[in-house]
Structure formats: structure tokens, C-alpha cells
């Protein structure tokens, strides 16, 4: 046997011997020197499975600026919504000397909330104060002149339809063509007492340009001939309002358009600090009698976020749980709250924020209503089922 082969065999034997000693060190039947025993502390894991109800729930109004796919306009069941539009006038030949013959506003309507056969009726007013789409809200509505500058009234004829406001005030539109002389802030559409439905209004800069709000202006130039210009660029938003949508102490709710959100807090102080949360599933049950949805609403798009502040509801952990429909009645929503519960075990517990998705919250009116911890029917109350693991040294009780 040459020297190289001998060295290989000796190395292999040494490895086998070391592995044998290591395995022997893990064998309960092997006598191990007391000095080595702390390196092999024996433990096991206990799995706990418990269900808790929220200690506190509350719903609150959150005034936010709308920045969605559809503006809302109309009145229904206590809801009220105004749409704001400001056109960019652009260039018009000889606009300092032309006279406006007529001005037409075309809007594309999508969906409805309230009476599907109802009447959409509104008036047009001139805004007299600067406003910005990212910040305008019901409680910061810009001032507008009370003189009516146009009107519309018509019934719903289709889920999607175009309407035309033919009687826009020509003097107001002429001001828009002369921005160096007049400062213009656009118009606000306000529903009248005859209105009993809410409709979505297509916004600027979304989807096809043919769906944008469009202003058509016909002018007469000094030579007596008529010119036509079309404007479809601008800024827009809407503001909405309603009192408490569900004045019921046994309900929590989320609301789009006029944004209401809910907070749920659970006491998980019984979970040891070092525990590992395996699963945490929240189940909440909707109340069909108090929810207000249409077939344009996506039922499953609800979000649950971990609150990071006791006073600021906008501070939320970036990982958000999405609710999904489950159960035979299709009225139970479940959320995976493993991350929130694990955060509560090792840190502060401010609860979770329940809200509609941004797609719905900023573009529609839709109300989801749920039973809370005060519901008369105990089976309908929110439930958080938690499975967590706790490490225990053998010999400990």
C-alpha cells in the first residue's frame, strides 16, 4: 500500500470515528461526561390552538381625496356626490376677438348606485377658488358662484352611456378662452332635489381618449364664420358625504366614496414573548341587511393592515392581508393575520385597520357591513383563531 492510499484510509477512518462519537453524544443511553451535558439540552415544542374575539371594534370617517378611475355624481339614500372639472383651454385662433356661440359638455357615465331606474339631475356652477385634485375633499370644498351655468336631467338608460349638457353658459366659456384676462378654476356639478341615483363619471387620462370629459366650443370670428374647437384635457375629482352609514352598535363597516374604515383590536398578551405564531385566521361575517352593494362592486376586495400607531390611522405595516369569501353562505370573509399577531407578540398592539381596496375606495360607493363583538348572535361575532408554538425544556412543567 503506497503512502498516499494509506493517508486516505486513515483520514476516512478518522471521519467515521468522529461521526460515531457525534451520534453517540445524541444517544440518551450513552453516558456523557457532566462537563459536556449543557451542549445537549433536551427540549420539545408545545402547540397551542385558541380562538379569541376582539376586545374593541370601531368604525370612523376618514376624509381623503379621491383619486380613482371614476368620479361620482348624484344623490341616493343619504349619499351625495359632486364632480369637479377644470379644462385646459389650450390655443384658439383669435380668441381675444371671437364670440362664443355655444358650448357643449359631454360626459361618459358608468355604473350606478341606488335606484337603477332613477334620475340623474344636476346643475353646473362656476368654481371661484383654486383647488387641487390630490387634496380636495368634502370639508375643503372650493367656493363656487351660486349662478346656474348649465343643467342636466335624465333617467338611466344603460350601465354605460354618454350624456351631453347643451346649455353651458357661453360667457363663462369665453373667460376660459382668455386666461390672460380671466382666471378660471373650472366647474362643479351639483345634484338637484330631483336626483335619486349616483353615477360614475369617466375621468381624464384613463382608458380611451374618446371616453374623457369633452368640451366642444363653437365661436364666431370677426369675419362672421364659425369655428369649432374640442377640449378633452384637464383635471378632475369628486367629493362625497353621508352621515353614519350604519347607525347600529352591533356592526362595523367599510365604505367607499365617503370613506369609512374600521379598527379591530385583539388581546394576545397571553402568548409568550418567544412564541412562534404558526397561523392566525380572522373570520368576520357580513350582514346582508345593512350592506349596500351593486353588481359593479367586487365583494372580495377588502384589506386588513397592521396599525403602527395608536393615533394615526394612516401608519400601517406594508404587508396587508386581503379578505376572501368562504363558507356556505358566502357571507364569511377570512384574513391571514399571522404577521400582525407575530408583531403584537414582540411589540406594540394597536389592532388592525379594515378598509376597502383603493380601486373601490376611490372610485365608487359601496358599503360592507359586518357583525362586531357586541352582536346578539354569538356565532356571528368576529373570531381570530391562533395556533402558536412554545419551546419547553424537558423537565419543566
- Give the pLDDT score at 18: 40
- Give the pLDDT score at 107: 97
- Vertex 152, ends 150 and 153: CA angle to 5°? 155
Cα dihedral 262, 264, 265, 268, rounded to 10, equals: -150
And the C-alpha cell for 244? Answer: 353614519
Which residues does 210 contact at the CB level (< 8 Å), separation at least 6?
none
- Residue 97 Rama label (left phi>0; alpha psi -120 to 50; beta): alpha
- Give the pLDDT score at 200: 94
Per-residue pLDDT of the chain (397 residues; tens, 9 = 90+): 444 444 433 444 444 344 343 333 333 333 333 344 444 455 688 999 999 999 999 999 999 999 888 999 999 989 999 999 999 866 555 566 678 899 999 999 999 988 888 999 999 999 999 999 999 999 999 999 999 999 999 999 999 999 999 989 999 998 888 766 667 899 999 999 999 999 999 999 888 889 999 999 998 888 888 988 899 999 999 999 998 788 889 999 999 999 999 999 999 999 998 899 999 999 999 998 888 877 777 556 799 999 999 999 999 999 999 987 766 567 899 999 999 999 999 999 999 999 998 888 888 888 899 999 999 999 999 999 999 999 876 555 5
Q: What is the DSSP letter of 292?
A: B
Q: Using CA atoms, how far apart are residues 12 and 289, in angstroms rounded to an integer?
A: 77
Q: Are 106 and 212 in contact, with CB atoms under 8 Å apart?
A: no
Which residues does 138 contact at the CB level (< 8 Å), separation at least 6?
63, 239, 240, 241, 258
Q: In what order do the strands lie in the sheet with 276-285?
A: 43-52, 383-393, 276-285, 332-336, 324-326
Reported as half-sphere exposure (CB side, CA atoms, 13 A), residue 97 has a value of 7
Q: Using CA atoms, how far apart are residues 257 and 81, in angstroms rounded to an integer?
A: 8
What residue segments make up the domains of the chain, in order of their start?
48-53+244-393, 70-241
- Give the pLDDT score at 245: 86
Q: Using CA atoms, how far apart are residues 6 and 68, in angstroms rounded to an integer?
A: 78
- Give the pLDDT score at 93: 52
Q: Using CA atoms, how far apart are residues 269 and 130, in angstroms rounded to an integer?
A: 51
Q: Which three-class secondary structure state does DSSP give residue 383? A: strand
Rounded to 5 degrees, what are φ and ψ at 266? -120, 140
Q: What is the pTM of this model?
A: 0.81
Give the burial string for 30-69 (b: 16+ CB within 10 Å, else e): eeeeeeeeeeeeeeeeeeeeeebbbeebebebeeebbebe
Amino acid at each position: 500500500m503506497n503512502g498516499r492510499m494509506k493517508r486516505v484510509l486513515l483520514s476516512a477512518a478518522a471521519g467515521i470515528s468522529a461521526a460515531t462519537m457525534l451520534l453517540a453524544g445524541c444517544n440518551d443511553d450513552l453516558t456523557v461526561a457532566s462537563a459536556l451535558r449543557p451542549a445537549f439540552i433536551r427540549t420539545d415544542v408545545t402547540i397551542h390552538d385558541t380562538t379569541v374575539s376582539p376586545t374593541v371594534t370601531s368604525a370612523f370617517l376618514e376624509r381623503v381625496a379621491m383619486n380613482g378611475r371614476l368620479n361620482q355624481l348624484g344623490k341616493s339614500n343619504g349619499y351625495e356626490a359632486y364632480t369637479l372639472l377644470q379644462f385646459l383651454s389650450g390655443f384658439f385662433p383669435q380668441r381675444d376677438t371671437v364670440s362664443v356661440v355655444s358650448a357643449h359638455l359631454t360626459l361618459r357615465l358608468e355604473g350606478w348606485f341606488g335606484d337603477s331606474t332613477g334620475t340623474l339631475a344636476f346643475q353646473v356652477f362656476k368654481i371661484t377658488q383654486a383647488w387641487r385634485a390630490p387634496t380636495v375633499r368634502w370639508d375643503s370644498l372650493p367656493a363656487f358662484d351660486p349662478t346656474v351655468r348649465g343643467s342636466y336631467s335624465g333617467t338611466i338608460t344603460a350601465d354605460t352611456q354618454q350624456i351631453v349638457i347643451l346649455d353651458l353658459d357661453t360667457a363663462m366659456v369665453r373667460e376660459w378662452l382668455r386666461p390672460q384676462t380671466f382666471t378660471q378654476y373650472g366647474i362643479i356639478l351639483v345634484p338637484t332635489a330631483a336626483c335619486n341615483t349616483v353615477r360614475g363619471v369617466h375621468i381624464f387620462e384613463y382608458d380611451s381618449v374618446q371616453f374623457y370629459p369633452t368640451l366642444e366650443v363653437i365661436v364666431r370670428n370677426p369675419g362672421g364664420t364659425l369655428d369649432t374647437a374640442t377640449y378633452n384635457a384637464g383635471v378632475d375629482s369628486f367629493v362625497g358625504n353621508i352621515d353614519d352609514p350604519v347607525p347600529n352598535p352591533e356592526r362595523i363597516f367599510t365604505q367607499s366614496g365617503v370613506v369609512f374604515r374600521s379598527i379591530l383590536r385583539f388581546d394576545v398578551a397571553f402568548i409568550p414573548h418567544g412564541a412562534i405564531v404558526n397561523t392566525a385566521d380572522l373570520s368576520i361575517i357580513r350582514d346582508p341587511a345593512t350592506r349596500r352593494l351593486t353588481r359593479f362592486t367586487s365583494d372580495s376586495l377588502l384589506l386588513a393592515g397592521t396599525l403602527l400607531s395608536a393615533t394615526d390611522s394612516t401608519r400601517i405595516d406594508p404587508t396587508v392581508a386581503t379578505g376572501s369569501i368562504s363558507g356556505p353562505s358566502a357571507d364569511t370573509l377570512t384574513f391571514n393575520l399571522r404577521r400582525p399577531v407575530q408583531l403584537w407578540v414582540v411589540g406594540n398592539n394597536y389592532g388592525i385597520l379594515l378598509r376597502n381596496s383603493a380601486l373601490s375606495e376611490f372610485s365608487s360607493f359601496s358599503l360592507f357591513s359586518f357583525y362586531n363583538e357586541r352582536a346578539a348572535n354569538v356565532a356571528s361575532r368576529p373570531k381570530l383563531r391562533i395556533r402558536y408554538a412554545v419551546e419547553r425544556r424537558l423537565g419543566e412543567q
